[in-house]
């Protein structure tokens, strides 16, 4: 019978399919997320024979340690959980120009030096453009093969024929499957293309990296089911105009999602930042009030950063509050605690809180440092340079314990800090650490008097 074309509506958030447009998706409850697409259906009247698959007993299933390929970049290996797992499907998302293609091309370079066969499939750049970018990065071996193709059927045939160990698809929004009549980048195209790549990865043991465009909200464009299909989702974050980049794992079936990798964008590509704490503390002001160093944990890695506050009398009836790099509502909450529990008259003051370096931290462990920075600026008193502060602050003014206190203190000692103000509960559970003075505080009054 002849093929027919039907108009179907898809939810861009979850991929829900409907025969008519709806204002709200019944599956994910998202508003105005339906888009119309034309799909082709073919019917030939044949009935497929379904073969029964015998289920396996869980005790009879053999498990082996997954084989991982080291990328040669420690920061990326940490986020991936130790390296690239054979047969895995990894989605890399990020803003335009953030460095996704550069990162993956550098991964291809390090893999080819290990005599791994790599296929780089680009639907956005020509061969000459990729070559120009490769020349800036460095030398490449002949184990890197480059294919400029947007037809996924031809790309999959090339993968089956060449049998590479690692494949990079840049990007999934430019690929199209001829079996689907919708335009490239549409919901159905992205979903079906990812499904085909997943079958290739699992069936042939090939590790595939997929580059995904992001929307203005910062999530990968296309149906949310795309993130459910892949094994690992990585987001490349950072300001395009700043030199540093952060690679964060949002989903990882083979490792932790709490780890981050820090990179610096240079002329010859991305450079790993092995000590982010030292990088974040560069250029600290001397003898300036409203500045204090805090410690936050990103997975198993402690990161020290400078928290700055500026408190001044307001010229208007309504004081202004601004927070950069942390939660605005959390800053308001902490200022309310200071007013109620410590008696500071902040209702007539403008307050500006900033985490230097442009990094974004929402961990409760930086609460005490934010409070100390606000008090320091309000009273115009300088906090000693070699002092570090961390702890969670409650609504009654108590300082609550934080996780991994020992790792935070050891990181501070390594960078030359001599005094550490931490929650009293955490200090009681710490082993003796020589070379750094540890002061445990139970509430805000104790912390302010200690400084």
Domain spans, the chain: 4-41, 68-274, 279-450
How does residue 2 score in pLDDT terms, banded at 50, 70 and 90? very low
Among candidates 80, 90, 25, 79, which has minimal Cα distance to 223?
Answer: 25
If DSSP codes are grouped into helix, strand and coil, which group holds residue 147? strand
Please say whether the dihedral angle defined by the alpha carbons of residues 339, 344, 350 and 354, taken in this order, is positive or negative.
Answer: negative
Q: Which single residue is written with the structure tokens 């108590």?
A: 398
Q: What angle do CA 307, 310, 313 make, to 5 degrees?
A: 160
Whole-model pTM: value is 0.77
Cα–Cα distance for residue pair 10/21, rounded to 1 Å: 9
How does residue 298 score in pLDDT terms, banded at 50, 70 and 90? confident
According to DSSP, residue 435 is labeled T
Distances (CA, A) of 91 to 37, 66, 214, 220: 24, 19, 11, 9
Determine the average pLDDT of the residues in 404-420: 92
pLDDT over 60 at 46, yes or no: no
Report the run of H or E that residue 10 belongs to, with start and end.
strand 4-11
Name the percent of the chain lying above pLDDT 90. 49
pLDDT value of position 275: 84
Q: Give the least confident one: 48-62, 102-116, 185-199.
A: 48-62
- Token digits for 409? 């203190």
pLDDT value of position 213: 83
Q: Give the least confident one: 166-180, 229-243, 252-266.
A: 229-243
Fold for 279-450, please state it.
Ribosomal Protein S5; domain 2 (3.30.230)
Among candidates 247, 171, 174, which has minimal Cα distance to 211?
Answer: 171
pLDDT over 60 at 274, yes or no: yes
pLDDT value of position 44: 47
3-state DSSP helix/strand/coil % of the chain, to nearest 5: 30, 30, 40
Greater confidence (47 vs 169) lies with 169
How does residue 45 score in pLDDT terms, banded at 50, 70 and 90? very low
Q: What angle do CA 240, 84, 256 make, to 5 degrees?
A: 75
How does residue 50 score in pLDDT terms, banded at 50, 70 and 90? low
User: For domain 68-274, which CATH number applies: 2.60.40.10, 3.90.76.10, 3.30.2130.30, 3.40.50.300?
Assistant: 3.40.50.300
The answer for residues whose C-beta is within 8 angstroms of residue 312's C-beta and 6 or more apart is 349, 350
pLDDT value of position 14: 75
Cα–Cα distance for residue pair 176/135, rounded to 1 Å: 29
Average pLDDT across the chain, whole number: 87
pLDDT value of position 101: 92
Cα–Cα distance for residue pair 13/28, rounded to 1 Å: 8
Distances (CA, A) of 283 to 111, 263, 279, 286: 36, 19, 9, 9
Distances (CA, A) of 286 to 384, 386, 416, 450: 9, 11, 16, 20
According to DSSP, residue 1 is labeled -
Determine the average pLDDT of the residues in 154-173: 93
The answer for residues whose C-beta is within 8 angstroms of residue 327's C-beta and 6 or more apart is 362
Which residues, in sequence order, are bridge partners of residue 104? none
8 Å CB contact between 34 and 10? yes
Determine the average pLDDT of the residues in 343-349: 88
Determine the average pLDDT of the residues in 113-135: 92
Cα–Cα distance for residue pair 354/373, rounded to 1 Å: 10
pLDDT over 90 at 91, yes or no: yes
The answer for residues whose C-beta is within 8 angstroms of residue 252's C-beta and 6 or more apart is 79, 80, 81, 231, 232, 233
Determine the average pLDDT of the residues in 420-448: 91
pLDDT value of position 401: 92
pLDDT over 50 at 42, yes or no: no
Determine the average pLDDT of the residues in 102-116: 92
pLDDT value of position 43: 44
Q: Residue ranges for the binding site for ATP?
A: 94-101
pLDDT over 70 at 313, yes or no: yes
Cα–Cα distance for residue pair 319/331, rounded to 1 Å: 14
How does residue 1 score in pLDDT terms, banded at 50, 70 and 90? very low
Q: Residue ranges for the binding site?
A: 94-101
pLDDT value of position 268: 85
Determine the average pLDDT of the residues in 174-203: 86
Q: Give the least confident one: 63-72, 254-263, 291-300, 317-326.
A: 63-72
pLDDT over 80 at 3, yes or no: no
How does residue 155 score in pLDDT terms, banded at 50, 70 and 90? very high
Among candidates 243, 251, 261, 316, which has minimal Cα distance to 77?
Answer: 261
Which residues, in sequence order, are bridge partners of residue 422? 440
Greater confidence (288 vs 180) lies with 288
Pairing outcome for strands 232-237 and 89-94: parallel
């Amino acid at each position: 019978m002849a093929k027919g074309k039907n108009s179907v509506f898809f939810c861009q958030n979850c991929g829900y399919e409907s025969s008519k447009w709806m204002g709200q998706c019944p599956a994910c409850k998202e508003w105005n997320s339906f888009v119309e697409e034309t799909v082709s259906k073919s019917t030939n009247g044949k009935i497929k024979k379904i073969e029964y698959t015998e289920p396996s007993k869980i005790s009879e299933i053999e498990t082996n340690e997954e084989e991982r390929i080291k990328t040669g970049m420690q920061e990326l290996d940490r986020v991936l959980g130790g390296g690239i797992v054979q047969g895995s499907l990894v989605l890399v998302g990020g803003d335009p120009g953030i460095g996704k293609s550069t990162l993956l091309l550098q991964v291809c370079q390090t893999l080819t030096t290990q005599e791994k066969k790599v296929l780089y499939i680009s639907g956005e750049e020509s061969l000459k453009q990729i070559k120009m970018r490769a020349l800036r990065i460095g030398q490449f071996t002949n184990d890197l093969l480059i294919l400029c193709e947007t037809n996924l059927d031809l790309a999959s045939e090339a993968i089956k024929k060449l049998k590479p160990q690692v494949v990079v698809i840049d990007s999934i929004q430019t690929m199209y499957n001829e079996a689907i009549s919708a335009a490239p980048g549409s919901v159905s195209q992205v979903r079906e293309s990812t499904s085909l790549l997943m079958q290739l990865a699992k069936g042939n043991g090939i590790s595939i990296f997929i580059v995904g465009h992001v929307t203005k909200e910062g999530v990968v464009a296309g149906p949310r089911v795309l993130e459910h299909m892949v094994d690992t989702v990585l987001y490349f974050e950072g300001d395009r105009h700043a030199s540093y980049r952060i690679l964060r794992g949002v989903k990882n079936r083979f490792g932790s999602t709490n780890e981050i990798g820090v990179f610096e964008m240079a002329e010859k590509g991305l450079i790993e930042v092995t000590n982010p704490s030292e990088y974040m503390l560069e250029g600290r002001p001397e003898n300036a009030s409203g500045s204090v160093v805090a410690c936050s944990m990103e997975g198993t890695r402690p990161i020290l950063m400078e928290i700055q506050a500026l408190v001044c009398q307001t010229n208007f009836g309504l004081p202004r509050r601004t927070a950069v790099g942390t939660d605005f509502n959390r800053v308001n909450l902490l200022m309310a605690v200071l007013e109620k529990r410590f008696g500071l008259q902040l209702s007539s003051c403008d307050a500006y809180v900033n985490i230097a370096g442009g990094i974004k931290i929402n961990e409760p462990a930086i609460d005490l440092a934010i409070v100390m920075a606000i008090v320091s600026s309000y009273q115009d008193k300088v906090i000693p340079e070699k002092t570090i502060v961390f702890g969670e602050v409650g609504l009654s003014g108590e300082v609550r314990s934080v996780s991994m206190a020992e790792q935070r203190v050891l990181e501070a000692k390594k960078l030359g800090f001599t005094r550490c103000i931490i929650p009293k509960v955490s200090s009681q559970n710490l082993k003796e650490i020589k070379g750094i003075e540890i002061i445990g505080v139970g509430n805000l009054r104790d912390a302010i008097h200690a400084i």
